[in-house]
A and B are shown apart, each in its own frame.
Chain A
Amino acid sequence: MARYFTDEHEWIDLEGNTATVGITDYAQGQLGDIVFVELPDVGAMVEKGKDAAVVESVKAASDVYAPLSGEVVEVNENLDEDPALVNSSPEEDGWFFKMTVSDKSELEGLMDDKAYKSFCDGL
């Protein structure tokens, strides 16, 4: 399993043809207390760089863009009940959705762990 990062502070775990997507620890820290996550419908087709989810704190709502193109196959229903998971476990239990990857070439240009860390350090 490989983990990729985007410059929009999303992480992607790729397993076979399925990607699990969430936001990074850095992102949750910037957003503050998460109060709600609006997830896409299962079966929705998402397009790289376009809106896929919305993450809300008390005073802000931020769009989460699809890091890749494909079909949403599962969403993290635990976030409905407990959006604070995104704060407490952003890169594990607080995942957003799983999707198929229609074009693996879209993975090119994404960062690995190390590159993302130095990207954040530079912010």
Chain B
Amino acid sequence: MSAPNASGWKPGTPVQDHNAMAGPDTVTGNRALMLEEPLIFEIGTTETTGVDLPEPQSGSNRLGGLDRSEKIGLPGLSEPETIRHYTRLSRQNYAIDLGLFPLGSCTMKHNPRLNEKVARMPGFADVHPLQPVDTVRGALEVVNELAHWLIELTAMHGVAMSPKAGAHGELCGILCIRAALEARGDAREVILVPESAHGTNPATAAFAGYRVEDIPANSDGRVDLEALKARLGPDVAGVMITNPNTCGLFERDMKAISDAVHEAGGFVYCDGANFNAIVGKVRPGDLGVDAMHINLHKTFSTPHGGGGPGSGPVVLSEALSPYGPLPFTARTKDGVVHLVEEENAAEFEHTKAFGRMTAFHGQMGMFTRALAYILSHGADGLRQVAEDAVLNANYILRSLEDVLDAPFGHSGPCMHEALFGDKGFAEDVSTLDLAKALIDEGYHPMTMYFPLVVHGAMLVEPTETESKAALDQFIGALRSVAERAKAGDESLKTAPHYAPRRRLDETLAARKPILAWEEPNPPGGAPSMSEQDGR
């Protein structure tokens, strides 16, 4: 095995008894830069504030006699204490800024800081969604321009910009399909979803009132076209296909799938979660897709923020565009960009909208970032994004397939992510153990146990923003951990050893849920959970 470090330093086998290495316990519980931090409820008080505001003056009160007299129980901290609290917390997080984040299907790539700066320009950050449209034409231009590029990049006909995240976009697309079917008086009940699909797909179809049926996969990890064709019929509203799929493979038969679905009177929803692998190279519209959401936080690198906000515009085919939700933007021949809402929809010949998905116009703060990203990369850069993402993933696949089982390694190149399974691990070592050991090596683990079609799945997505040196170090680390998994190294089962916390007891958390801070002595007000629920 080559040294994972360019410097030639090679880590030894992890020490079994790490406590022997860790030195004595400290009085504070801190370990040098690893700092423990209490809850704000334990260090703050309801009298402390870090904001200078005037003392309440006596004056008129028109609160209708509903003054809040009971204690609220919100702790405050001074500004320095606040900064320190959150800074200390931040240091307990792994992040892209710290290292390679190989979370398959989640696309954890570098977040350019220009985009943060742009999103904070007052003309974008400090405008109200209900300002008179003449005072927000620049903001509407941003929405419209981004919409334009999304349509061009996908060869589609229209785009709904308002969905707030990928799953919200899925719902938007499925509701467009439902509206289109209802408009032609064709009530259909079933949406077909591959077994390998992300959980949002079946959840979305069910939320939109459809029954979900599985489409089987064939042995090379793709949709079984013949099985799909056999199931199509007058009750099938559509299919939801992820392409590139969750096994990291391009659905070669996509066009044939679309043709068959259309032939049977249904629509094709494409989950665009993995669009980053093909952006600038392949246009989904050319493959017969009717609707596809685009996770701006994946393909166009708006920050994940520890779990959102996302943004999920949905591009639509000519057949579905008339049903897209309000509001949206439209540019007239004079170059002016308009906001199209319920009242002026008829003027813009958009009378069949299925409704409104959210109060305002969508995730403006994400639109500005995504547009800055698209303009920065340009036509040549976006293509390079896809190529480098795919190159990096294949490099990982081929560098590790001798030590990790690659169930679809024979199916040709992967796209933007490499899929491995747990075959060959010692009997009592699981994918989870390997993942936790990777934490000790300084990495966030890959996506685990997804897709469900591979036992002990490990889905590795390096993204295009990693250097070859970073990939080589990661490959070295994963190789070492994989070898330990095969050898049945006991220390894997107690990993991580060096993280701010050891393995956390999720069973305890679920059996006796503690979901909010409880005052040690409840001072009235809202009853604590322990009182109400006997917990």
| Distance (whole angstroms) from the CB of A113 to the closest CB of chain B | 30
Q: Using CB atoms, name the residue of chain A closest to B535.
A: A81
Task: Indicate if A36 sits at the interface (CB-CB under 8 A).
Answer: yes
Q: Which residues of B contact A83 (CB under 8 A)?
A: 511
Q: Choose among B449, B506, B534 the residue that contacts A58 (Cβ–Cβ < 8 A).
A: B506
**Contact across chains for A81 and B506 when beta carbons are under 8 A apart:** no
Q: Which residues of A contact B21 (CB under 8 A)?
A: none
A5 vs B511: C-alpha distance when bound (angstroms): 28
A56 vs B507: C-alpha distance when bound (angstroms): 10
Task: Indicate if A33 sits at the interface (CB-CB under 8 A).
Answer: yes
Q: Which residues of A contact B506 (CB under 8 A)?
A: 58-59
- The bracket for how many chain A residues form the interface is 10 to 19
Q: Which residues of A contact B510 (CB under 8 A)?
A: 35-36, 56, 58
Q: Which residues of A contact B449 (CB under 8 A)?
A: 59
Task: Indicate if A84 sits at the interface (CB-CB under 8 A).
Answer: yes
Interface residues of B in 506-535 (CB under 8 A from A): 506-507, 510-511, 534
Q: Which residues of B contact A81 (CB under 8 A)?
A: 534
What 0/1 pattern do residues 60 to 85 of A give for CB contact below 8 A with B?
A: 00000000000000000000010110
What 0/1 pattern do residues 15 to 49 of A give for CB contact below 8 A with B?
A: 00000000000000000010110000000000000
Q: Using CB atoms, name the residue of chain B closest to A33.
A: B507
A83 vs B508: C-alpha distance when bound (angstroms): 11
A37 vs B534: C-alpha distance when bound (angstroms): 17
Q: Using CB atoms, name the residue of chain B closest to A81.
A: B534
A35 vs B507: C-alpha distance when bound (angstroms): 6
Residue with the greatest number of chain A CB neighbours at <10 A, chosen from B449, B506, B510, B534:
B510
Q: Using CB atoms, name the residue of chain A closest to B510.
A: A35
What 0/1 pattern do residues 112 to 126 of B give for CB contact below 8 A with A?
A: 000000000000000
| Distance (whole angstroms) from the CB of A56 to the closest CB of chain B | 8
| Distance (whole angstroms) from the CB of A82 to the closest CB of chain B | 8
Interface residues of B in 479-522 (CB under 8 A from A): 506-507, 510-511
Q: Which residues of A contact B507 (CB under 8 A)?
A: 33, 35, 57-58
The 17 sampled A-B contact pairs (Cβ below 8 Å) are: A33-B507, A33-B511, A35-B507, A35-B510, A35-B511, A36-B510, A36-B511, A56-B510, A57-B507, A58-B506, A58-B507, A58-B510, A59-B449, A59-B506, A81-B534, A83-B511, A84-B511
5 more contacts with CB within 8 A, not counting A58-B507, A59-B506, A84-B511, are A35-B507, A36-B510, A56-B510, A58-B510, A59-B449
What 3 A-B pairs come out closest when comparing CB atoms?
A35-B510, A33-B507, A58-B506
